[in-house]
Amino acid sequence: MSAPSRSRSKIPKAPAQPESGLAELRRLDHAHFWHPFTQMRDWCASEDDPLIIVSAQGAILTDAEGKDYIDGNSSIWTNIHGHRHPMIDAAIRDQLDRIAHCSALGFSNEPSILLAAKLVEIAPGDTLTRVFFTDDGSTAIECACRMAAQYRDRVGESERQEFIVFDGAYHGDTVGAASLGGISAFADMGGAKGYPIRRIGSIEELAAIDSSRVNAAVIEPLIQGAGGMRLWPYGMLRQLRDWCDEHGVFLILDEVMTGFGRTGRLFACDHELVVPDFLCLAKGLTGGYLPLAVTLTTERVFSAFLGDYDSLRTFFYGHSYCGNALGAAAALANLRIFEEENVIESLARKIEVLGQSLHEATTYCPHFGEIRHLGMIGAIDLIDIRSGSEFDWRRETGARVCRRARDYGLLTRPVRDTLVLMPPLCISEQQIRICVQALVDATNEILGNP
Ligand SMILES: *Cc1c(COP(=O)(O)O)cnc(C)c1O
């Protein structure tokens, strides 16, 4: 086994898997582990896979053979301050010495109480005062929709049933959340019925909608993630908020991807000073350590659920791990790091470097089409230089490029043929440049450098 490079890490790494066990781990993976969003026939046919990650430090992941890679997509958009951050590690260990989990059904716990209060303090505006805990992005969205639907029922507005959603949207994979999505490849819900929706492509289409039937508009603010890192025009979120206010419609913001600094502000809606009626947070909430999510809402919504027990106004909804203490402890530490390390302020220069490197890269790589950049999120569309348009998706060009980028020390995952960089916020300027260069080299190798 080659010695992993230690130069970047202050803390010694845990020993990697012994190499004798690696073949067996791969065999067992192929035999039993069904991976998400993965064509398992291809997965199991690949001999040098799976890449098994055994340890990490900061923005660096290390595999079972001791090879280091930059975590170019923050472990699918979750990691915030890097791996093994001493404050989050310590917070989880400390909580583990007390209790890992106890039900929030009938009981409460200190880290979840403190986290709820802290989230209310840092949330945009001053109207989001109630916090409901769930497990992941899908359930945070599910919870918001269910609350909005039951609210209309409780206040006698049950004609307001429709949810306005957008082409290219992604809000998760449970039936309710998936029914809001606008990506056709993910549309198969096995015949299950979701929420009644009105899908639109742009804000102009609101004009044609009978708003008296609309419950809420749901949107990924500023940028659609799984839809291909597509930016909304600046000012659109504000317009949507105004339209919702004018027509008595709720605004549900899905900040599952954009929350916790990704866009350069703590929340994407901070850019346009928009305050939603429901704010859904997940991926980065625990700094990328544990599955935990929240749905924040207002006193107005909360109070509609109050009443005598037999009035059945209770919000009948919840999950076994609601208010998980380990997750809440990690989330509190995640938020403390933002304050103690002035993380948002420290991003300005990195954001500049990311934008600059991406734009410079188009000079070195003829296959790079449109570049999109928002905060610490970068996206590059690959284009077929012979036709000037996008590749046939069946060729898996983006996936092949990202696969080759491994050889240049970068792990990331494309959205179809859009290359994505969304590194942990702790990444260095130098590492950002390495990521972009890795994508240039990998692309030129796969598609040729004429
Ligand atoms: C990832 C994601 C979700 C779903 O979150 P899960 O934790 O995977 O359930 C929802 N909305 C957005 C914008 C996301 O990026």
CATH classification of the domain holding 329: 3.40.640.10
Tell the residue nearest (CA) to atom 8 of ligand 1: 137
Rounded to the nearest angstrom, the distance between the alpha carbon of 257 and the centre of ligand 1 is 7
Q: How far is the CA of 3 from the centre of ligand 1 (A)?
A: 36
Q: Is residue 194 part of a domain?
A: yes
Please check whether residue 442 is in contact with residue 404, taking contact to mean a CB–CB distance below 8 angstroms. Answer: yes
Which residue, 318, 340, 362, sits at the end of a domain? 340
> Do residue 228 and residue 352 come from a single domain?
no
- Whose tokens are 């009938």? That residue is 106
The verdict on the CB of residue 262 being under 6 Å from ligand 1 is no
Q: Is 78 in the pocket of ligand 1 (CB under 6 A)?
A: no
Dist. CA 437–CA 428, nearest whole Å: 14
Q: Is residue 392 domain-shared with residue 418, that is, in the same domain?
A: yes
Ligand 1: residue whose CA is nearest its atom 6? 137
Q: How many residues does the chain have?
A: 450
Question: Of 280, 313, 340, which residue constitutes the final position of a domain?
Answer: 340
371 part of a folded domain: yes
Choosing from 340, 366, 401, the residue where a domain stops is: 340
Identify whether residues 310 and 395 lie together within a single domain. no
| 410 and 323 fall within a common domain | no
Please name the amino acid found at residue 370. Answer: E
Same domain? For 235 and 310 the reply is yes
Residue 158 belongs to some domain of the structure? yes
Q: pLDDT tens string for the chain (450 positions)?
A: 344 443 444 555 555 555 558 999 999 999 999 999 999 999 999 877 899 999 999 999 999 999 999 999 999 999 999 999 999 999 999 999 999 999 999 999 999 999 999 999 999 999 999 999 999 999 999 999 999 999 999 999 999 999 999 999 999 999 999 999 999 888 788 888 899 999 999 999 999 999 999 999 999 999 999 999 999 999 999 999 999 999 999 999 999 999 999 999 999 999 999 999 999 999 999 999 999 999 999 999 999 999 999 999 999 999 999 999 999 999 999 999 999 999 999 999 999 999 999 999 999 999 999 999 999 999 999 999 999 999 999 999 999 999 999 999 999 999 999 999 999 999 999 999 999 999 999 999 999 986
pLDDT tens for residues 358-388?
A: 999 999 999 999 999 999 999 999 999 999 9
Q: What pLDDT, in 10s, does the model give residues 284-325?
A: 999 999 999 999 999 999 999 999 999 999 999 999 999 999
Contact 149, 250 (CB under 8 A): no
Q: Please report whether residue 17 resides in a domain.
A: no
Domain that holds residue 57: 52-81+346-447
Element (H, E) at 55: strand 53-57
Ligand 1 centroid to Cα of residue 174, in Å, is 10
| Whether residue 323 sits in one domain with residue 191 | yes
Which of ligand 1's atoms lies nearest the C-alpha of 255? 13
Q: What is the CATH number of the domain that holds 433?
A: 3.90.1150.10
Interval between CA 2 and ligand 1 midpoint (Å): 37
Kindly state if the Cβ of 170 falls inside 6 Å of ligand 1.
Answer: yes
Residue 10 lies in a domain: no
Note whether 72 and 105 are same-domain residues.
no
Cβ(225) – ligand 1 distance below 6 Å: yes
Closest protein CA for atom 11 of ligand 1: 171
285 and 158 together in one domain: yes
Q: Is the CB of 284 under 6 A from ligand 1?
A: no
| Residue 156 domain flag | yes
The burial class, CB within 10 Å (0-12 / 13-18 / 19+), for 426 is: buried
Contact yes or no for 175/189 (Cβ under 8 A): yes
Residue 13 counted as domain residue: no
The rounded Å distance from CA 365 to ligand 1 centre is 31
Question: Are residues 354 and 235 both part of a single domain?
Answer: no
How much distance in Å is there from the Cα of 441 to the middle of ligand 1? 30
The residue among 414, 173, 139, 376 whose CA lies nearest residue 265 is: 376
How many structural domains are present in the chain?
A: 2
Q: Are 175 and 280 within one domain? A: yes
Nearest C-alpha neighbor of 359 from the set 436, 266, 428: 436
User: In one letter, which amino acid is 75?
Assistant: S
CA of 12 relative to ligand 1 center, distance in Å:
33
- Are residue 328 and residue 399 in the same domain, yes or no? no
**Is residue 93 assigned to a domain?**
yes
Pocket test for ligand 1, best of 180, 224, 231, 257 (most atoms within 8 A of CB): 257
287 shares a domain with 376: no
